[in-house]
Structure 1
Amino acid sequence: MNRIFTSLLILFAFFSVGSAQSYIKTDLGIKTSINKIAYEIQFFSPSIARVVKWPEESCFNKESLSVTRKPQHTNLNVSINGENLILKSDELIVHLNTKSGTVSFETTSGQPLLKEKQAGAEFTAFNDAGNATYNISQSFALEKHEAIYGLGILQNGKMIQRDLEVHMIQNNTQDFIPFFQSNKGYGLFWDNYSPTIFSDNQEQTTFSSEVGDGIDYYFMYGENADGVVAQMRELTGQVPMFPLWTYGYWQSRERYKSQDETVGVVKKYRELGVPLDGIIQDWRYWGNNYLWNAMEFLNEEFYDPQKMVNNVHNLNAHMIISIWNSFGPETKPYRELDSIDALMDFKTWPESGSFKWPPNPDYPSGVRVYDAYNPEARDIYWKYLNKGIFSLGIDGFWIDSSEPDHFDPKPSDFDNQTYLGSFRKVRNAYPLMTVGGVYKHQREVTSDKRVFILTRSVFAGQQRYGANTWSGDVVASWDALRKQISGGLNLTLCGVPHYNSDIGGFFLWDYQNPLQNADYRELYARWVQFGTFCPMMRSHGADAPREIYQFGKKGEPVYDAIEKYINLRYSLLPYIYSTSWDVTANQSSMMRPLVMDFPSDKKALNIDDQYMFGKSILVCPVTKSMYNKDGQADFSTIKKRKLYLPSGTKWIDFWTGETVEGGQTIAKETPIDIMPLYVKAGSVIPIGPDVQYAEEKPWNNLEIRVYKGADGEFTLYEDENDNYNYEKGLYSTIKFIWDDSENTLIISDRKGRFPGMLTDREFKIVMISGKNNLDSEHIIPVKYSGRRTSMNL
Structure 2
Amino acid sequence: MKFRLLLLTMLFTAFGNALLAETPPYINTKNGVIVFTDPLFTGNPYAVKLEVVADNIIRVTVAPGKEIANTQSLVTVYSKNIDVFWDVIPSEESLTLKTKSLKAVVNLKTGAVTFKDSSDKKILNEKPIGGRSFQSAIFDGRRYYNLTQSFQITPGEALYGLGQHQDGMMNYRGQQVSFFQNNTEVAIPFLISSNNYGILWDNYSLTKAGDVRPLHPLSDMQLFSKNGETGWLTASYANNRQQPQHIVTERAETGIDMEFLGDSKIQLPAAFNPATGIVTWQGSLASYISGLHQLKFVFGGSLKVWLDGNLVLDHWRKAWNPAPALLPLSMTSGKKVPVRIEWIPEGGESYLALKWQEPLSPEEQDLFSFSSEAGQQVDYYFIYGGNMDEVVSGYRLLTGKAPIVPKWALGFWQSRERYKTQDEILSTVQEFRKRQIPIDNIVLDWSYWKEAEWGSQEFDAARFPSPDSMINMLHHKYNTQIMISVWPKFYEGIAAYNLFNKNGWLYKKNIADRQRDWIGKGYISTFYDAFDENARKGFWDLINKKIYSKGIDAWWMDASEPDILSNVSAEKRKLQMTPTALGSAAEYLNAYPLQNAKGIYEGQRSANPDKRVFLLTRSGFAGSQRYAAAIWSGDIGSTWTDMKNQVAAGINFSLSGLPYWTMDIGGFVVPEKFEKPRAESLEEWRELSTRWSQFGAFVPLFRSHGQFPYREVFNTAPEGHPAYKSFLYYDRLRYRLLPYIYSLAGAAYHHNYTIMRGLAMDFAADTAVLNIGDQYMFGPSLLINPVYQYKATSRQLYLPKATGWYDFYTGKYFEGGRQINADAPYEKMPVMIKEGSIIPVGPALQYSNEKPADTITLFVYTGTDAAFNLYEDEGVNYNYEKGAFSNIVFTYAEAAKELTISKREGYFNGMLAKRNFRIIWINKDRPKELDADQKADATVSYTGEKITVKMK
- 2:52 corresponding residue in structure 1: 43
Deviates more, 1:380-389 or 1:200-209: 200-209
Q: Does the 8 Å contact 1:610/1:619 carry over to 2?
A: yes
Offset, 1:342: 1.5
Q: Distance in 2 between matches of 1:120 and 1:650?
A: 44
- Alignment partner of 1:719 is 2:873: yes
- Alignment partner of 1:475 is 2:637: yes
Q: Distance in 1 between matches of 2:457 and 2:426?
A: 20
**Residue of structure 1 aligned with 2:398, choices 198, 215, 235:** 235
- Alignment partner of 1:541 is 2:550: no
**Residue of structure 1 aligned with 2:663, choices 492, 496, 501:** 501
Q: Does the 8 Å contact 2:506/2:527 carry over to 1?
A: yes
What is the DSSP-based 3-state SS (H/G/I as helix, E as strand, rest coil) of the residue aligned with 1:371?
Answer: coil
Offset, 1:332: 3.0
Q: Distance in 2 between matches of 1:273 and 1:698?
A: 18
Q: Distance in 2 between matches of 1:500 and 1:142?
A: 31
- 2:33 corresponding residue in structure 1: 30
Q: Distance in 1 between matches of 2:934 and 2:693?
A: 29
What is the DSSP-based 3-state SS (H/G/I as helix, E as strand, rest coil) of the residue aligned with 1:78?
Answer: strand
- 1:619 corresponding residue in structure 2: 784
Letter in 2 for 1:256: Y
Q: Distance in 1 between matches of 2:722 and 2:150?
A: 53
- 1:11 corresponding residue in structure 2: none
- 2:135 corresponding residue in structure 1: 124
- 1:651 corresponding residue in structure 2: 805
- 2:340 corresponding residue in structure 1: none
**Residue of structure 1 aligned with 2:99, choices 49, 72, 89:** 89
Q: Does the 8 Å contact 2:674/2:685 carry over to 1?
A: no
Q: Distance in 2 between matches of 1:532 and 1:327?
A: 36
- Alignment partner of 1:316 is 2:492: no
Task: Within 5 Å, give how 1:559-598 maps onto structure 2.
Answer: 559-598=724-763
- 1:101 corresponding residue in structure 2: 111
Offset, 1:574: 0.7
Q: Distance in 1 between matches of 2:838 and 2:865?
A: 10
Offset, 1:331: 3.1
- 1:780 corresponding residue in structure 2: 938
Q: Distance in 2 between matches of 1:753 and 1:48?
A: 34
Letter in 1 for 2:928: N
Given the superposition, is the C-alpha separation of residues 147 and 346 from structure 1 closer, same or farther in structure 2, using an over 3 Å criterion?
farther
- 2:388 corresponding residue in structure 1: 225
Q: Distance in 1 between matches of 2:934 and 2:587?
A: 63
What is the DSSP-based 3-state SS (H/G/I as helix, E as strand, rest coil) of the residue aligned with 2:374?
Answer: coil
- Alignment partner of 1:445 is 2:599: no
What is the DSSP-based 3-state SS (H/G/I as helix, E as strand, rest coil) of the residue aligned with 1:702?
Answer: strand
Q: Does the 8 Å contact 1:514/1:520 carry over to 2?
A: no
**Residue of structure 2 aligned with 1:352, choices 516, 526, 537:** 516
Larger Rg: 2
Offset, 1:409: 3.8
TM-score (normalised: structure 2): 0.78
The runs of 5 or more residues in structure 1 that have no matched partner are: 1-13, 628-638
**Residue of structure 2 aligned with 1:397, choices 546, 550, 555:** 555
Letter in 1 for 2:685: Y
Q: Does the 8 Å contact 1:468/1:498 carry over to 2?
A: yes
- Alignment partner of 1:212 is 2:351: no
Offset, 1:512: 3.4
**Residue of structure 2 aligned with 1:457, choices 619, 641, 651:** 619
Q: Distance in 2 between matches of 1:114 and 1:170?
A: 29
Offset, 1:298: 2.9
**Residue of structure 1 aligned with 2:157, choices 146, 152, 157:** 146
Offset, 1:557: 0.9
Task: Within 5 Å, give how 1:250-649 maps onto structure 2.
Answer: 250-288=413-451, 290-313=452-475, 314-347=477-510, 352=516, 355-356=519-520, 363=522, 365-405=523-563, 406-407=565-566, 408-409=568-569, 411=571, 413-415=573-575, 416-509=578-671, 511-513=673-675, 517-626=682-791, 639-649=793-803
Q: Distance in 2 between matches of 1:762 and 1:50?
A: 50
Provide, for residues 278-297 of structure 1, a one-character-per-residue CA deviation record: whole Å limited to 9, x for no partner.
10000111111x31131121
Given the superposition, is the C-alpha separation of residues 729 and 58 from structure 1 closer, same or farther in structure 2, using an over 3 Å criterion?
closer
Provide, for residues 354-379 of structure 1, a one-character-per-residue CA deviation record: whole Å limited to 9, x for no partner.
634xxx6xx5x221111001000001
Provide, for residues 127-180 of structure 1, a one-character-per-residue CA deviation record: whole Å limited to 9, x for no partner.
110112211111111123211111100111111111112221100001011221
Given the superposition, is the C-alpha separation of residues 602 and 346 from structure 1 closer, same or farther in structure 2, using an over 3 Å criterion?
farther
Q: Does the 8 Å contact 1:248/1:693 carry over to 2?
A: yes
Q: Does the 8 Å contact 2:686/2:717 carry over to 1?
A: no
Offset, 1:642: 1.1
Provide, for residues 326-372 of structure 1, a one-character-per-residue CA deviation record: whole Å limited to 9, x for no partner.
1112333322221122211355999636634xxx6xx5x22111100
Q: Distance in 2 between matches of 1:285 and 1:465?
A: 26
Q: Does the 8 Å contact 1:252/1:538 carry over to 2?
A: yes
Offset, 1:413: 4.9
Q: Distance in 1 between matches of 2:487 and 2:417?
A: 15
- 2:308 corresponding residue in structure 1: none
Q: Distance in 1 between matches of 2:600 and 2:147?
A: 32
Letter in 1 for 2:604: Q
Offset, 1:72: 2.0
Q: Does the 8 Å contact 1:342/1:418 carry over to 2?
A: no
Offset, 1:424: 1.5
Q: Does the 8 Å contact 2:47/2:67 carry over to 1?
A: no
Q: Distance in 1 between matches of 2:461 and 2:562?
A: 24
Q: Does the 8 Å contact 2:675/2:708 carry over to 1?
A: no
- 1:703 corresponding residue in structure 2: 857
The runs of 5 or more residues in structure 2 that have no matched partner are: 1-16, 212-359
Offset, 1:82: 2.5
Provide, for residues 761-780 of structure 1, a one-character-per-residue CA deviation record: whole Å limited to 9, x for no partner.
11111112232245734442
**Residue of structure 1 aligned with 2:69, choices 57, 60, 63:** 60
Q: Distance in 2 between matches of 1:641 and 1:150?
A: 26
Q: Distance in 2 between matches of 1:109 and 1:228?
A: 19
Q: Distance in 2 between matches of 1:127 and 1:354?
A: 34
Q: Does the 8 Å contact 1:88/1:94 carry over to 2?
A: yes
Q: Distance in 1 between matches of 2:96 and 2:496?
A: 54
Deviation beyond 4 Å, 4+ runs, structure 1: 346-351
Deviates more, 1:528-537 or 1:346-355: 346-355
Offset, 1:468: 1.0
- 2:316 corresponding residue in structure 1: none
Provide, for residues 369-415 of structure 1, a one-character-per-residue CA deviation record: whole Å limited to 9, x for no partner.
11001000001000011011111110000000111114334736525
Q: Does the 8 Å contact 2:843/2:856 carry over to 1?
A: yes
Offset, 1:746: 0.9
- 2:90 corresponding residue in structure 1: 80
What is the DSSP-based 3-state SS (H/G/I as helix, E as strand, rest coil) of the residue aligned with 1:741?
Answer: coil
State the superposition RMSD in angstroms.
Answer: 2.2
What is the DSSP-based 3-state SS (H/G/I as helix, E as strand, rest coil) of the residue aligned with 1:210?
Answer: strand
Letter in 2 for 1:273: Q
What is the DSSP-based 3-state SS (H/G/I as helix, E as strand, rest coil) of the residue aligned with 1:726?
Answer: helix
- 2:838 corresponding residue in structure 1: 684
Offset, 1:715: 1.2
Identity of aligned residues (%): 40
**Residue of structure 1 aligned with 2:919, choices 765, 776, 782:** 765
